[in-house]
Amino acid sequence: MKKTVLSGIRPTGNLHLGNYFGAVRSFVKMQHDYNCFFFIADIHSLTTHPTPENLQAGVKQVLAEYLACGIDPDVATIYIQSDVPEVTELYTYLNMNAYLGELERTTSFKDKARQQPDNVNAGLLTYPVLMAADIIIHKANFVPVGKDQEQNLEMARKFAKRFNHMYNHRVFPMPKPYTFDGKDMVKVPGLDGSGKMGKSEGNGIYLYEDPADIRKKVMRAVTDSGPTQPNQKKPEPIENLFTLMKIVSSPDVVAFFDEQYNNCAIRYGDMKKQLAEDIISFTSPIRERILEIRDNDAYLAKVASEGAERARVSARKTLDEVRKVMGIKRLF
């Protein structure tokens, strides 16, 4: 039997290169060999209080972008989280076994609490519990996500294991991270000197972005005054430029600039021009497909409702089992 894969993205803006190379390219690669569920985590995005208009626009955009990236709704199940209420029921049950201390210690909670000190809501605290419910409701074996989600995935395993142990039934398998090349989980860097590329970091290069804007962003990337000694270790902003180049450019292009760096002959301007063109060659066909699909409301609605139907069948099956082992299902 095929193993199950699940992953999701919050609809808080357009997909960027971090989302694509951290997660979405794995979705596209895995869809034919696994039983795949890809969803839009609209309930998760409520922690930051989007307006109803922004939420709707975000959901539609991410749906169109998933499809434009090559996820095929005939083979993978694509759905919107809020269309599957079984998820929030499981979330309620899992909350009874999630402890304040462990939730407060989660890095993503601490970061968010720092970023939005006036809105440290309970949804933010229990974010990893909802994410665990998303994953285990379909008994997922693999979860393709970027490095930033490693801890949340660890929490999902912890909650699944705790449930199995408490009720003495092996209801849930342990969900493992899936990496594209079988190596480390990916972290796509931003080009602003340090850290990851992200929507909240404000340093995203988007799949939907206009080529002229991509060129501008890449040309503004932080660099330094250049190496002064042969084979010098690269400082973080330069390493980041190379990391991104390794992702989008061919190996000989990377080798060329690497050699230039090691000989202290590198011209960052030339490297950035090349990087911008390689990003644009990658994003342009996706951008065209997004433009084709995103106004086709009838098609998007059909994909979403068929996906919801399939996801609910799978979720219902697990929830029936969960209710039974918990003693919630009426047996008399």
Which amino acids are annotated catalytic? Answer: 112, 196, 199
| Whole-number Å distance between alpha carbons of 78 and 300 | 11
| Whole-number Å distance between alpha carbons of 239 and 245 | 10
- Shortest Å, Cβ 73 to ligand TRP: 19
**Interface with ligand TRP includes 204 (CB under 6 A)?**
no
**Interface with ligand ADP includes 198 (CB under 6 A)?**
yes
Residue ranges in 30-49 that form contacts with ligand TRP under rule CB under 6 A: 41, 44
Contacts of 97 (CB under 8 A, 6+ apart): 159, 162, 163, 166
| C-alpha triplet 107, 108, 111: angle, nearest 5° | 85
- Environment class of residue 259 by beta-carbon count within 10 Å: exposed (0-12), middle (13-18) or buried (19+)? exposed
What are the φ and ψ backbone dihedral angles of 144, each rounded to 5 degrees?
-80, 110
Residue 237 binding: pick among ligand TRP, ligand ADP, none (C-beta 5-8 Å cut-off by kind): none
- Shortest Å, Cβ 263 to ligand ADP: 30
| Whole-number Å distance between alpha carbons of 220 and 191 | 8
**Interface with ligand ADP includes 134 (CB under 6 A)?**
no
**Interface with ligand ADP includes 199 (CB under 6 A)?**
yes
Distances, alpha carbon 30 to alpha carbons 26, 64, 241, in Å = 6, 19, 28
Residue ranges in 129-168 that form contacts with ligand TRP under rule CB under 6 A: 131, 134-135, 143, 145, 149, 152
Where b means 16+ CB within 10 Å and e means fewer, 276-313 reads bbbbbebbeebbebbeebbeeeebbeebbeebbebbbe
Residue among 30, 90, 153, 197 that touches ligand ADP (CB under 6 A):
197
Which candidate, 139, 286, 145, places its Cα nearest to that of 211? 286
Residue 134 binding: pick among ligand TRP, ligand ADP, none (C-beta 5-8 Å cut-off by kind): ligand TRP
- Environment class of residue 179 by beta-carbon count within 10 Å: exposed (0-12), middle (13-18) or buried (19+)? middle
**Interface with ligand ADP includes 223 (CB under 6 A)?**
no
Residue among 58, 73, 128, 146 that touches ligand ADP (CB under 6 A):
146
Tokens of 30: 């895995």
Q: What number of CA atoms fall less than 13 Å from residue 319's CA on the CB side?
A: 18
Residue among 188, 207, 286, 290 that touches ligand ADP (CB under 6 A):
188
Order the strands of the 142-143 sheet from edge to edge. 77-80, 35-40, 4-9, 142-143, 176-177
Q: How many residues bind ligand TRP (CB under 6 A)?
A: 14
- Comparing CB distances to ligand ADP, the nearer of 153 and 280 is 153
**Residue of closest CB approach to ligand TRP:** 8
- Comparing CB distances to ligand ADP, the nearer of 188 and 266 is 188
Residue ranges in 3-62 that form contacts with ligand ADP under rule CB under 6 A: 9-10, 12, 16, 18-19, 22-23
> How many other C-beta atoms can be found within 10 angstroms of the C-beta atom of residue 83?
17
Residue 207 binding: pick among ligand ADP, ligand TRP, none (C-beta 5-8 Å cut-off by kind): none
- Comparing CB distances to ligand TRP, the nearer of 48 and 260 is 48
Which residues are at the interface with ligand ADP (CB under 6 A)?
A: 9-10, 12, 16, 18-19, 22-23, 145-149, 186-188, 196-200
Which residues are at the interface with ligand TRP (CB under 6 A)?
A: 6-10, 41, 44, 131, 134-135, 143, 145, 149, 152
